[in-house]
Chain A
Amino acid sequence: MTRGWLGALGALLGVAVLFAIPRLTGNEYLLALGISFATFSVLSGGLNLVYGYTGLLSFAQVGFFGIGGYTAALLVTERAWSLWAGAVAGGVLAALVGLVIGYSSLRLSRHSFAIVSLSFALLCMIVARDWVSLTRGAMGIPGLPVPGLDLPGWRWRLSRPADFYYLLLGFAVMAQALFYVVVSSRLGRAMRAIKLNEPLAQSHGIDPLRYKLLAIALSAWLAGIAGGFFVFYLTIVDPSIFDFYYTETMLIMVIIGGPGSFWGVLGSSAVLAALPDLLRFTTDLRMVLYGAVLIAAMLIFPGGVGGWLDRRRLRRWRRPSLTTP
């Protein structure tokens, strides 16, 4: 019990420190890294829920992210919606698309889900580039307006990077809290059971398809909302929002952090969000490096850091104790 309270206290402290950063330093580069971390943590957390916990390898996250971005941008510019309504609508649309893809491809197998999700992500990019009358093609939708929040007695205009830092960090904290509640509850246990042994889970009265669809829809919904916020931070949405770079980065985050390990993936998201900028590679070489890391991880290190820590803890528990009688 005390361990749990200490953990909660530590998490609260971490969040407080993250929220205090813009007050301590006006360094915009640091804020940009923080925004990148917050956004990627939602994407990789969702991928971890779908792949790490439920065992479905998905390449569709980037599609949900971009659908959210495009939906929010189009609703705000064409229909004069507020960002908040637009982002939520984008999340809902992403979740619905996720349900359609998941329901149709999971009828066959996990294999076909992986293939269909990849095709879906590629199709999103093609549609964004070539359906010019809706998405304005390769030029995208530039100059997105500055969003604002009007509450009685308080008006917040998100004009500085620090405002978006607060927004995306706040959203990421809520999303991570939601992920944490899901994975540590009965739902998360059912998902893990499905990943480990689907027929056995089924024989215990778990309907695998419902839990799989729930994981896909939840991660798609959050990724869609994150996409809506993120494009307003960039002030432009164009087909590069569907870039395979996002998919590869979040996959690496989940693989290195350890699929099925909440804190592992969160930690690796923080490290890897900062790393590319520290390494200062060209994008092509960075992708070569990521690919090599992926190959090496699959050959020698499939559990990631989280898996390694788990194994170490199990070994410690199982070690015969010599000191106590």
Chain B
Amino acid sequence: MDPGIFLQLLLNGIVIGVIYALVAMGLSLIFGVLELVNFAHGEFYMLAAMLAYFLTMRLSLGYAATVAVVTILAVCLGYVFYEALLVHIHGGGFERSILLTLGLSMVLQNGAVFLFTTTPRMIETPLSYANIVAGSVRVSVTRVLALALGLVAFAALYLILYRTRIGRAMRGVAQNREAALMVGIDPRAVSRLAVAIGIGLSGLAGAALAPVYAVHPLMGFSFVFKAFAIIILGGLGNIAGAAIMAVALGIVESVVGGFLPLVMVDALVFSSMIGMLLLRPEGLFGRGVRV
């Protein structure tokens, strides 16, 4: 294979992988702290992308302003989501949380289909036609910006989790809820923040990817399918594992997708998930199995 094309595919794969990582890390963080699987996670990503589309095309906001507004709104939405819905089922069983978030996902997804139809929309600004050319490799500016935003978000999440008191509290609750309670950590405040950060990351992912791909109401559904596979492969609740698997998946998908039909990639992802559960149920980068 021509090294130029390979490099191109590799670069595209890293960009999409970093965006997968944002969604999967949020999902993993929420699972780690609250022990619930958020089935509506992909819909928040979709809402953010749709919002980014309207802000850019209708209100003609700039790139930075759009990303900032969408991310801040997503964080606020995360707070509301926790306080309005999740707090009421806390401790009420894992299945209830799945069904609740599934119901929310149905409302958001089908509501968006009803309001906006399934027609894909493209964001078209002067920025979306700009390219950076280096030798035989050509990358659009929007992809580079998405990559940069993703890396900044990685760094910010790392700093929050490992360098602040609230981050330490979050990791404490994720490791051992009872022990965290015993040393005076308020689980409600910690859970609220974890959900807000998780949804915020999803919103950032949506805003960053909206100018790269077409935006439509069903985009969250297929995305969250991959995010689930990622968090199982990386170990449920393991945030770093999720990030590594996400980037790996993005690269594999892009490079393999260059010369194989995409259904093979999806089948590959699913069968590696099943294989992982058979061989190493705690995931590649396993961290204690929760029951």
Chain A residues at the B interface, C-beta cutoff of 8 Å: 51, 55, 57, 100-101, 104-105, 107-112, 114-116, 118-120, 122-123, 126-127, 129-131, 248, 251, 255, 282, 284-285, 287-288, 290-295, 297-299, 302
Q: Give the chain B neighbours of A55 by CB distance below 8 A.
A: 95
Segment of B72-80, B157-165, B206-214, B260-268 in the binding face: B260-268
- Say which residue of B94, B104, B113, B222 sits within 8 Å of A295 (CB atoms): B104
Q: Give the chain B neighbours of A118 by CB distance below 8 A.
A: 39, 225, 228
What are 22 A-B interface contacts by the 8 Å CB criterion? A101-B274, A105-B274, A109-B290, A110-B94, A111-B236, A112-B232, A112-B236, A112-B281, A115-B228, A116-B232, A118-B228, A126-B263, A127-B263, A130-B261, A255-B99, A282-B114, A291-B107, A292-B103, A295-B100, A297-B99, A298-B96, A299-B85
Q: Name A113's closest neighbour in chain B (CB-CB).
A: B277
Chain B residues at the A interface, C-beta cutoff of 8 Å: 37, 39, 85, 88-89, 92, 94-96, 98-100, 102-111, 113-114, 222, 225, 228-229, 232, 236, 261-263, 266-267, 270, 273-274, 277-278, 281-282, 289-291
A293 vs B106: C-alpha distance when bound (angstroms): 10
Q: Which of B95, B103, B290 has most chain A Cβ within 10 Å?
A: B103
Complex contact A294–B103 (CB within 8 A)? yes
Q: Which of A109, A110, A111 has most chain B Cβ within 10 Å?
A: A111
- Say which residue of A112, A114, A299 sits within 8 Å of B88 (CB atoms): A299
A293 vs B225: C-alpha distance when bound (angstroms): 24
Complex contact B263–A131 (CB within 8 A)? yes
A251 vs B211: C-alpha distance when bound (angstroms): 36
Q: Which of B39, B106, B273 has most chain A Cβ within 10 Å?
A: B106
Q: Name A124's closest neighbour in chain B (CB-CB).
A: B270
Interface of B is mostly: helix
Complex contact B89–A288 (CB within 8 A)? no
- Closest Cβ of chain A to B35, distance in Å, is 8
Q: Contacts A100-B274, A248-B106, A299-B89 hold; do A123 and B100 have CB atoms under 8 A apart?
A: no
Q: Contacts A116-B232, A287-B110, A298-B103 hold; do A51 and B263 have CB atoms under 8 A apart?
A: no
A316 vs B59: C-alpha distance when bound (angstroms): 62
A104 vs B261: C-alpha distance when bound (angstroms): 27
Complex contact B277–A119 (CB within 8 A)? no
